[in-house]
Amino acid sequence: MAASKYLTGDPSAIDAFLDKFDTFLIDCDGVLWSGDHVFDGIPETIKLLQSKGKRTVFVTNNSTKSRKEYFAKLSSKGIPCQVEDIFGSSYSAAIYISRILKLEPPRNKVFVLGEAGIEAELESEGIPYIGGTDPAYRKLGMEPADFAGIADGSSLDPDVGVVLAGLDFHVNYYKLAHAHGYLRGNHIKDAKNAKNGGKAVFLATNIDSTLPMYHSFFPGAGSASIVALSNMTGDQPLALGKPSQAMMDAVEGKFHLDRTRTCMIGDRLNTDIQFGVEGHLGGTLAVLTGVNKKEDWERTDAPAVPAYYVDGLADLRGASN
């Protein structure tokens, strides 16, 4: 495999790089900012790309925020964009449910393990859901009636056809027990004759094991709810976030992009760079302001190797500064 090309401080290489692409898919956490701290020169860099006629699409695995909330954050940081230029794992999941799964009523309801970002995107696609931020599921401990109602399905909703799990800061045993009941098909009376034995389809927005925050790590969507459910049922969910190619297909379908003229920019090898490589994009660019460093992709067991790298995204201004 060819070595990754280093662009920082090399104006002619940067010009050649920019000329290769029409569209840049840009990860947010670790590329544009760390938490609330935007890296130096980021707004100017995005503006530069746009002034050269490049399309900038923001692609994030964070499911807790909707596209509108991401738009608000990008705008408040001075990064020019439109709501339509944002693609999150919650939106990816909603698109998958509405346009690929196309569940027939009445079994078209989604049980949500997650926050408001998922709910907003399901609503935008007109998908009915329960769970999520509903205070009725924000409960600690189990009453005997809770066990009984989940076991015989009497307290479950017979219309649930999907369990969608993402990052949920309010995850608890009561919610997990409900999700597990739907994945087992406890809510379907005639389970033997039902599709897939009455079991709900298991989807995940993303399976990141940890969530980088406050210069430390916290339980990610993959750990706090998804592996718990997988460990009980023995089944893995279809994950709709990077590096899932279901997300790439959705991005391509929406933006009608030419993959050979598209570059994925990110800080994580096993999500961002792998996403671009497996999607056969024209290029991938790693930045060193987030999770992975150069030594990570120089290992023989690296999940993916970027075609280009820069110290930080703002180094792309090199040619024009």
Name which of 52 and 147 has its Cβ closer to a second copy: 147
Decide if 22 is catalytic: yes
Kindly tell me which of 51 and 231 has the beta carbon lying closer to a second copy. Answer: 231
* Residue of 10, 15, 19, 22 marked active site: 22
Q: Which residue has the tokens 């060819």?
A: 2
| DSSP-H helix ranges across 26-133 | 42-51, 67-76, 89-95, 116-124
Exposed/middle/buried for 199, CB within 10 Å: 0-12, 13-18, 19+? buried
Is the Cβ of residue 207 or residue 281 nearer to a second copy in the bound state? 207
Convert residues 171-210 into a mask of x (bound to a second copy by CB under 8 A) and - (unbound). Answer: xxx--xx--xx--x-x----------------------xx
Q: Do the strands 216-219 and 210-213 form a parallel or antiparallel pair, or are they unpaired?
A: antiparallel
Residues 6+ apart with CB under 8 A from 28: 58, 60, 62, 70
Distance CA 39, CA 214 (A): 15
Cβ at position 61, least distance to a second copy in Å:
16
User: 243 vs 276, which CB is nearer to a second copy?
Assistant: 243
How far out from the chain centre does Cα 67 lie? 12
Instruction: Using CB under 8 A, pick the residue from 227, 246, 302, 319 that binds a second copy.
Output: 227
CA gap 71, 77 in Å, rounded? 10
Contact with a second copy (CB under 8 A) among 52, 217, 294, 311: 217
CB of 88 to a second copy, least distance (A): 20
Among 140, 193, 256, 301, binds a second copy (CB under 8 A): 140
Q: Which of 13, 116, 130, 151 binds a second copy (CB under 8 A)?
A: 151
Residues marked active site are found at 22
